Amino acid sequence: MPSRLIEQARRGPGIETWKNTICGLCSAGCGIRVRLVDGLPVYVKGNPMYPINQGGLCPLGLNALHHLYHPDRLKGPMKQVGKFGSGKWESITWDEALKTVSDALVKLRNEGNPHQVAFLGHDERGLMHRHIARFMQAYGSPNYFQFSPAQDDGVAYLLMQGDPQIPAYDVLNAKLIVSFGSNFLEEGHSPIYYTKLYGHHQDSQTRYVQIESRMSLTASNADRWVTIRPGAYGALALGIAYVLLREELYDTEFVNAHTFGFEDWTDRSGTKHLGFKSFVLGNYYPERVAELTGVPSATILELARELGNTRPALVIGGQGAVNNTNGTYSLMAVQSLNALLGNFERAGGLYSIDEPPFGALPVVQRDPTGEAGNGRASVARSQDGSFPLAPFSMKTLTKNILEDQPYPVGVLFLYGGNALFETVDHIDFAKVLQKIPLVVSFDSIRTETSEYAHLILPDHTFFETWDEVSNVPSVGFTHIGIQQPVVAPLFETRHTGDVLIDLAKRIGGSVAASFAFESYQEEMKQGMNGVYESGEGAILSASIKGKWLQYLQQRGWQIGRYSSFDEFWAQLLEHGGWWNPIRKQKPWEKVFHTPSGKFEFYSQRLKSTFDALVKTTGDQQSPQDLELVLSRLNISARGDTTFLPHHEPVPFEPDLPMHLVTFQPLAIRNGNGAHLPMMQEMFGYTVGRYWDSWVEIHPKTASDYGIADGQWIWLESSVASLRVRAKITPGILLNVVAVPFGLGHSSCGRYARGHGTNPYSIMRNTYDLLSGKPALEVTKVKISVAA
Amino acid sequence: MARWAMVIDLDKCTGCGACMAACKMENNVAIVKPDEAQNGRAMFWMDMITTYEGEYPNLEVKRMPRPCFHCDDPPCIKVCPVRATYINEEGLVGQIYKRCIGCRYCMAACPFTVKVFNWENPQWLDEASTCFNPDVSRRMVGVVEKCSFCAHRLMKVKEDAAQEKRNILDGEYVPACMESCPADAIYFGDIEDKQSVVYKLAHSYRAYRVMADLGVEPKVYYLSKRKA
Amino acid sequence: MEIQDSRRPDRDELLYRPIYETGRGFYITAGMLLLVVLWAAYMYLNQVRSGLGVTGMNQPVTWGFYIVNFVFFIGISHAGTLISAILRLSKAEWRRPITRMAEVITAIVLAIGGLHPILDLGRPDRMVNIFLSGRLQSPLLWDVTSITAYFTASTVYLYVPMIPDIAKLRDRGGKFQWLYAFMAWGWEGTEHQKKVLNRAINILMVMVIPIAVSVHTVISYIFSMTLQPGWHSTIFGPYFVVGAIFSGIAALLIVMIAFRKFYHLEKYLHEIHFQYLSTLLLIMSIIWFYFTFSEYLTGVFGAEPHEMQIIMYKFKGPFAIFFWGMVACNFVIPVIILAFKRFKTIRGILVASCTVVIGMWLERLIIVVPSLANPRMDLPLGIYVPTVTEWALFAGGLAVFVLGYMVFSKFFPIISIWEIEEGRTEGLKEVEERIHSYLPAESASS
Ligand SMILES: Nc1nc2c(c(=O)[nH]1)N[C@H]1C(S)=C(S)[C@@H](COP(=O)(O)OP(=O)(O)OC[C@H]3O[C@@H](n4cnc5c(=O)[nH]c(N)nc54)[C@H](O)[C@@H]3O)O[C@H]1N2
Ligand SMILES: Nc1nc2c(c(=O)[nH]1)N[C@H]1C(S)=C(S)[C@@H](COP(=O)(O)OP(=O)(O)OC[C@H]3O[C@@H](n4cnc5c(=O)[nH]c(N)nc54)[C@H](O)[C@@H]3O)O[C@H]1N2
Ligand code: SF4
Ligand code: SF4
Ligand code: SF4
Ligand code: SF4
Ligand code: SF4
Ligand SMILES: [Mo]
């Protein structure tokens, strides 16, 4: 804490001001109002005008100031000295740091290997995403990846709707909401957005049904909680589909007009194909589904009838369903329920959101070296055809880099996130970090991952930075939140966007030429200029809700009411954001980008992907044979079933008794709240545990094993064992134990280090067969009392 | 004279805990050491009480945010030997930190176990010493503290009202916990005023007060379908 | 009036001996006790420096050993003065060798007990606030008042009857002349002085009794004035008083037996004294049981949920050992020992007294902790484990008591010499007359 600020706080006349910005502690993008006294932030509250959170915040956001003032923030560029990962660091000047990096970049480029630079991003979207992409393109590398982009959940949507975007749910107008393992009140893409709607619904009597194997915050607030065996979501969804079909409770109109592969069909070559309807009716009768899921057939009937007889009734699929080896197929099954109910592009249903009309940038300058580099295959592209649909897979990346396939990586940038802390492949990924000659991180607080970096060029915290947070996944309207510096940077930190520009300039040539603007802020203004010119939407204002909305409705989205861009910009900063609550009605072909232009029960994209694989399986004896491909992806289904939503059995270890399920409490989320002491204290507020992890066990299970509440026990998986204290709660299935995710740090600052445990240490590194998403719920354990 | 009261709608409340965090930040409540917290010395002016009722499939979990109830006839103040805790004419039950001798009698006397004690020298984030709320005095070791209904915010509101020569409007005095509740589950206002939101809600069929039978007249009302 | 020759060996020489002769044993014991006291002092200073965090208290168990021992010590202190007053009032001749020992207990232990609430304060530095802005409505203030009152009264009541003996010491010459001279208050043993002395004693003993009763009544009010289940009970006042007298008698017996042994006072303290006192103990034990029984019966019968939770916590919860231990120590064992002649030996009485003291301490523990550990709200059970600091201060309290008593016995006779003499002379006559006055009048026949 710079002493000048302490002075300022002590001596100041105590003048109060407020500034709006966007919380940056997770990807949910809530608008916040920061209270400043004598220019120093002293309190954070929700921005009542901001349409996502309308004044509400989560505990983490409320505690954000401790992120700004955190004692372990990096105060300037750092260089790792001595043994790698030894934690010995010395600070260097920005010039030194940038020189080291640019030298390496120039060298690779001169050797004609620009493609050997990789950039591992995090969940950045919008302009920052574009900025990084431009840098990599201009420099000449195809290797810009995002660890944990929310799209990694989108493969199922890609297959059925031709668009990986996570759909926006019109929760506001739904009368019934059935969630398949989406803990949207606690985790979810924007927990506060959903909590707002939930609060609103208590007045308007909307019913919530939560299908989950543990009683999460969402389940505990739902009108009904249905427990289900891990990995069985697909089966349940199809069981429900069975009843909807049998009892004709589905939207025939939509199904007939806008879906493909519902009835049996014959393709051009005249071969008959199995339709979704007869497939489901033939295989997913309630008794069998009850077998697979552990959900009584009576319950299945009730759920289906309630869904079929309520309009609008919304079905939401979440990580609970996705985080398993059969995740993609499961989510497809869940999504096909929305199709049967005809929920697309309809009030109370789900739809895709338009991108904000950002202003375009001058085209990237190109030179031969860059061209060549961009031409190369990405290092994350699988060599053996695994995860054919993965936008990016940590496993493939690690594998390739360790094997120098197809080429070695010389420089790796790490931006945001904490991959090492939350991949099931942490062991291999650690090797990768040690292998690469130059690893550069932008972390503002050192994380497990950046402990392995050679250089850290610390970014500002969101309180000190310029950025834009737009279109949070699953939020029901186009919106842009403005992140602006509410306080001058406390330390010698720099905006990563500016750092990239600086590097580009140092590299010179076409790379430098590609960056027309002096700073990221300028570039951002350019982007917002496009929004201004589009004349769409409106800047947030107190009156935007209620009357204003109707006004917008009548006038469509055309409301240019700013005399100049500067006025627009000024208001934007003052109010903290822009949104466009009105969606353009889309023609159906714009809704479904599939070969058939319809919602595809039978995914032709999946079919063609496999056909392509069969032709180009990169192995020696190159067998022209689907069988081999399927067995290598260990998909058990054959024939048309392969391309239809179905239940793939999960390779659980039969000899271990308990399923391990993880969840992410609001206070610490994926682990990015762990560095804050108040959040550590609040981590277990629902179970009365502080600064520590726990494992949820059903009272009966506990008594079977003679476990008392608060007792230390061992969770032993096929990978390793975890020592953690028991929390006995009736809110969980008999054969399931649940461990919260987020603690167990070995880095992330003094308050995170050494508290609690990280379930990843015992998770099997198994993946979704198609999407390459880690199968976080596939691990089974046996439990025993610890001495 | 106004009588300030709070209503918490448990049907809306999801138990997200934002109120707990908002309160700690707004009121400079100390963060205790990890082992201290484990030993029941964590300080939450707004605490969360979780109870499970029944068994699956009829399992009901009740999450109940619990501030100080600002009882109209508070047992806590009756026992204080030095008048370090008191109730004012607007029904706010306050603490005088500088006078408290730390006998903890009021804690023992509070039927709702809401008070917390500074067992050790209060410590906050090492270097966050600038992000204190200047409107709220910081506590010292050895004194009792509890939810104040954000009384410091009332002072501000009164100043504004006085300047504009008007009465305080319903919904103008907003405690921190209410302000950031993402479910809009907390309401606050003058329960004497028959027009106020809290008056109406407090008289709805869903309204109840914890252990109303004790007759200490809590001024925090809960709304719940289940209870009613 | 002839001046007494100090060199003439006194009939009660034995009672003077401890004042003039001190063995090695004394110094060793005193030394060890002193160490304990210093240790406690150190721990306390440490607590003042770093706050009550060093104790095992927490939310919801906001009170622990300090309050437990406060109630316990005050209880012990209770009996001394009260008993001596009652015995004097009822002209029980066997009181003579006992009264002073009893009074000393009160003076010393009351001081110790009275300090405990201060040990318990989070801000001892702000004690003055109790006077600057004290609220008389607070039961704590009632305690402060009645304890000070009782302390003054009982020290005076200890001192006044001591004056003639102090004078004796003054006249014998030897060490601390000045002290005795000062404290003797110019006592010459004149008729007038004797009259005044007796009048003073009579007034004091009448005054002391209600104060004594008040003390432990208001201590019980600390708890019973709250709404907490397990505390909010009308029976608490008398219940506490009975308990206090009960533990007080036990303590007195222990002290008597100890001094009888170490100072060889068999000549003064006969079986009979112990028989009488222990019979009193037996009676108190039964009364105590009666109160305890009705206290819990009403609870169990009413079966108010919160009340019940706490009772069950004591009956078969974590506190069962302490509860049933208490019943054994306060009722079963003493009654068995004291009801049968065979066990009612000095040794037996010693055992019974010890268990009673332990049992009464357990009772205080059982009153203070469970009600706090079982909050009315649906919160997890509170857990309280006393720390070294708390144990140290407990040990310190006991050490101060023993040490104080030993030191006292080095300055003043622990048996009232003049009252013994008085007994030999007036006592006998008076009793004879009294007995005559009870008997039917002689008929004046030829
Ligand atoms: N607080 C918080 N919010 C977040 C995130 C975060 O890390 N923390 N991450 C963001 C991101 S990147 C995403 S993709 C979204 C995802 O958000 P969601 O789609 O809501 O998925 P999760 O939040 O992982 O919730 C999955 C829930 O399903 C349950 N579950 C897990 N496995 C199984 C199973 O096999 N069977 C059943 N029946 N239930 C199971 C777990 O209890 C868990 O509560 O959340 C976003 N929001
Ligand atoms: N057990 C379990 N694991 C999961 C999931 C699950 O449901 N259960 N969900 C999976 C899914 S869907 C996803 S998308 C991934 C998400 O995985 P991530 O995206 O990596 O997790 P985050 O919590 O978003 O980021 C965590 C790290 O970001 C760092 N951080 C926070 N703020 C900043 C900042 O301002 N600057 C920088 N440079 N760093 C910052 C924090 O130090 C923290 O260590 O997790 C996956 N992991
Ligand atoms: S959910 Fe919480 S952490 Fe995420 S943006 Fe909103 S307030 Fe910040
Ligand atoms: S903030 Fe609102 S919703 Fe969250 S726990 Fe508090 S009252 Fe409930
Ligand atoms: S809730 Fe407790 S602390 Fe608050 S006023 Fe009532 S008795 Fe006092
Ligand atoms: S702890 Fe402070 S406020 Fe509470 S009773 Fe004692 S002196 Fe009064
Ligand atoms: S009213 Fe103010 S003090 Fe009380 S709980 Fe809410 S925020 Fe905390
Ligand atoms: Mo995700």
Query: Residue C5 in 3-state DSSP?
Result: coil
Residue with token string 């740090």: A745
User: Are A185 and B16 a contacting pair at CB < 8 A?
Assistant: yes
Give the separation between CA A719 and CA A399, rounded to whole angstroms. 19
Distance between CA atoms of C307 and C290, rounded to whole angstroms? Answer: 20
Overall residue count recorded for chain B in this entry: 228
User: Which residues, in sequence order, are CB contacts of B100 under 8 Å at separation 6+?
Assistant: B82, B84, B85, B142, B143, B144, C122, C123, C126
The CA distance from C314 to C310, in Å, is: 6
Burial class (CB in 10 A: 0-12, 13-18, 19+), C238: middle
> Is the pLDDT confidence value at A750 over 80?
yes
> Which residues are within 8 A (CB) of B109 and not within 5 positions of it... i.e. 6 or more apart?
B75, B76, B78, B79, C226, C227, C228
Tokens 């009892």 sit on residue: A247
**Which of the residue ranges B154-158, C58-62, C183-187 would you say has the lowest mean pLDDT?**
C183-187
Q: What beta strand segments (E) does C175-267 contain?
A: none
Q: What is the mean pLDDT of chain A?
A: 91
Q: pLDDT category, A239, cuts 50, 70, 90? A: very high
Interface residue C50 vs chain B (CB under 8 A): yes
Given a contact cutoff of 8 angstroms between Cβ atoms, the answer to whether C170 and C4 are in contact is: no
Ligand 2 center to A669 CA (angstroms)? 8
Question: pLDDT band at A538, cuts 50/70/90?
Answer: confident
Cα A49 from Cα A55, distance rounded (Å): 7
The strand pair at A780-785 and A712-716 is best described as: antiparallel
A380: pLDDT strictly greater than 60: yes
Q: Name the 3-class secondary structure at B56.
A: coil
The H or E element containing residue C360 is: helix C346-373
Q: How far apart are CA A157 and CA A167, in angstroms?
A: 8
Is residue A557's pLDDT more than 50? no
For residue C123, list chain B residues with Cβ-Cβ distance below 8 A: 100-102, 142-143
Q: Residue C383 and residue B40: Cβ atoms within 8 Å? A: yes
Q: Count the neighbouring beta carbons within 10 Å of the beta carbon of residue A257.
A: 11
- How many angstroms separate the CA atoms of A153 and A330, rounded? 11
pLDDT for residue A624 is more than 70: no
Question: What is the residue type of A708?
Answer: A
Q: What is the mean pLDDT of residues A67-73?
A: 93
Cβ(C199)–Cβ(C161) below 8 Å: no
- Helix count and strand count (H, E) for chain B: 7, 10
Residues in A closer than 8 angstroms to B125, CB to CB, are: 66, 69-71, 676-678, 751
3-state secondary structure at position C411: helix
Contact (CB, 8 A) for A609 and A390: no
Å from CA of A746 to ligand 3 middle = 24
Give the closest residue to C380 by CA, choosing from A187, A656, A451, B50: B50
Distance from CA of B72 to the nearest CA of C (A): 15
Q: What is the pLDDT at residue A203?
A: 75
Q: Which residues of chain B have pLDDT under 70?
A: 124-130, 227-228
Please report, as a single letter, which amino acid is at residue C429.
K
Cβ–Cβ below 8 Å for B111 and C57: no
Q: Residue B110: CB within 6 Å of ligand 4?
A: no
In this complex, the residue of B105, B117, B216 whose CB is nearest that of residue C59 is: B117
Instruction: Give me the mean pLDDT over the A206-227 stretch.
Output: 94
Which of B127, B153, B201 to mutate: most A Cβ within 10 Å?
Answer: B127
The alpha carbon of residue C130 is apart from the nearest alpha carbon of chain B, in Å, by 6
At A189-203, the pLDDT tens digits run 899 999 999 988 877
Q: What is the CA radius of gyration of chain A?
A: 26
Ligand nearest to the CA of B181: 4
Closest to A230 in 3D by CA, of A211, A254, A249, A247: A211
Model confidence band, residue C1 (pLDDT cutoffs 50, 70, 90): very low
| pLDDT at res. A617 | 57
Which of A776, A777, A768 is CA-nearest to residue A159?
A768
The whole-angstrom separation of Cα A93 and Cα A78 is 8
- CB A24 less than 6 A from any atom of ligand 3: no
Query: For A91-134, how does the pLDDT look when each residue is reduced to its tens digit (9 = 90+)?
Result: 999 999 999 999 999 999 999 999 999 999 998 989 999 999 99
pLDDT band with cut points at 50, 70 and 90 for residue A558? very low
Asked if B125 lies within 8 A of A70 by C-beta distance, the reply is yes
* CB B102 less than 6 A from any atom of ligand 5: no
Within its chain, how far is the Cα of A112 from the centroid? 35
Q: What is the model's pLDDT at position A510?
A: 94
C138 contact B CB<8A: yes
- Provide the H-helix boundaries in A34-176: 59-62, 65-68, 94-110, 126-139, 155-161
A63 reaches B (C-beta below 8 A): yes
Condensed to tens digits (0 to 9), the pLDDT of residues C81-129 reads 888 888 888 888 888 889 999 999 999 999 999 999 999 999 999 999 9
Share of residues in chain C with pLDDT > 90 (%): 63
Question: Residue C345: what are its φ and ψ, rounded to 5°?
Answer: -90, 170
Residue B126's pLDDT is: 60
Ligand 2 interacting residues, C-beta cut-off 6 A? A 24-25, 122-123, 147-148, 319, 323, 416-418, 421-422, 442-445, 447, 459, 461-462, 662, 664, 669-672, 741, 748, 759, 776
- Chain A residue numbers touching B31 (CB-CB < 8 A): 677-678, 681
Q: Is B219 in the pocket of ligand 5 (CB under 6 A)?
A: no
- What pLDDT does residue A559 have? 53
pLDDT tens, residue by residue, A154-194:
899 999 999 988 889 988 889 999 999 999 999 888 999 99
Question: How large is the average pLDDT for residues A34-38?
Answer: 93
Judged by average pLDDT, the poorest of A550-564, B92-106, C146-160 is A550-564
Full DSSP string of A467-514: EEEE--TT-SSEEEEEE--SS--SSS---HHHHHHHHHHHH-HHHHHT
pLDDT (mean) for C13-21: 81
> What is the rounded CA–CA span in Å between residue B151 and residue A343?
49
Q: C46 and chain B: CB distance < 8 Å anywhere?
A: no
Q: Is the CB of B114 under 6 A from ligand 5?
A: yes
Residue among A16, A34, A65, A195 with most chain B CBs within 10 A, to mutate: A195
Q: Is A691 on the interface with B (CB under 8 A)?
A: yes
* Local confidence band at A392 (pLDDT 50, 70, 90 cut-offs): confident
Q: Is A620 a residue whose pLDDT tops 50?
A: no
Contact with chain B for residue C373, Cβ under 8 A: no
Does A547 score more than 60 pLDDT? no
- In this prediction, residue A556 has a pLDDT band, given cuts at 50, 70 and 90, of very low
Query: Looking at ligand 2, which residue's alpha carbon is closest to its atom 35?
Result: A461
Q: By the CB < 8 Å criterion, does C194 face chain B? A: no
Q: Name residue A723's beta-bridge partners.
A: A714
Terminal alpha carbon distance of chain C = 45
Ligand 5 pocket, mutate which of B49, B79, B115 (most atoms under 8 A from CB): B115
| C-alpha of residue B109 to centroid of ligand 6, in Å | 10
Q: In this structure, how many other beta carbons lie within 10 angstroms of the beta carbon of residue C117?
A: 23
Q: What percentage of chain C carries pLDDT values higher than 70?
A: 97
Peptide bond into B182 cis (omega under 30): no
Checking if the pLDDT of A549 tops 90, the result is: no
Q: Which of A192, A691, A751 to mutate to test the interface with B (most CBs of B within 10 A)?
A: A691
Integer CA distances (angstroms), A655 to A325, A434, A549, A659, A718, in order: 19, 36, 58, 11, 10
Mean pLDDT lowest among A391-395, A672-676, C302-306, C346-350: A391-395
- Which residue owns the Cα nearest ligand 7 atom 2? B150
Q: Give which of A748, A686, A674, A472 is closest to A60, Cα–Cα.
A: A674
Distance CA C392, CA A283 (A): 74
Confirm whether the ipTM is greater than 0.85.
yes
**A85 touches B: beta carbon within 8 Å:** no
d(CA C288, CA C282): 10
Q: Which residue has the higher pLDDT, A613 or A659?
A: A659
Nearest CA to ligand 1 atom 23: A187
Closest CA to A572 of A539, A550, A546, A598: A539
**Contact call for B18 and A681, based on CB within 8 A:** no
Q: What is the mean pLDDT of residues A423-450?
A: 93
Mean pLDDT over the full length of chain C? 90
The residues in B 142-171 lying below 8 A from C, measured between CB atoms, are 142-144
Average pLDDT (A392-412) is 92
For A702-719, give the secondary structure using H, E and C.
Answer: HHHHCCCCCCEEEEECCC
CA-based nearest residue to A658, from A780, A785, A775: A780
Please give the single-letter amino acid code of residue B112. Answer: F
The per-residue pLDDT for B57 is 83
For atom 2 of ligand 5, the residue with the nearest CA is B110
pLDDT over 80 at A364, yes or no: yes
CB atoms within 10 A of CB A474: 25
Which residue of chain A has the CA closest to B128? A69
Give chain A's length: 787
What number is the average pLDDT over the span C158-178? 87
Which chain B residues touch C122 with a CB distance below 8 Å?
100-104, 117-118, 141-144
Q: What is the pLDDT of residues C201-258, one digit of tens each?
A: 999 988 888 999 999 899 999 999 999 999 999 999 999 999 999 999 999 999 999 9
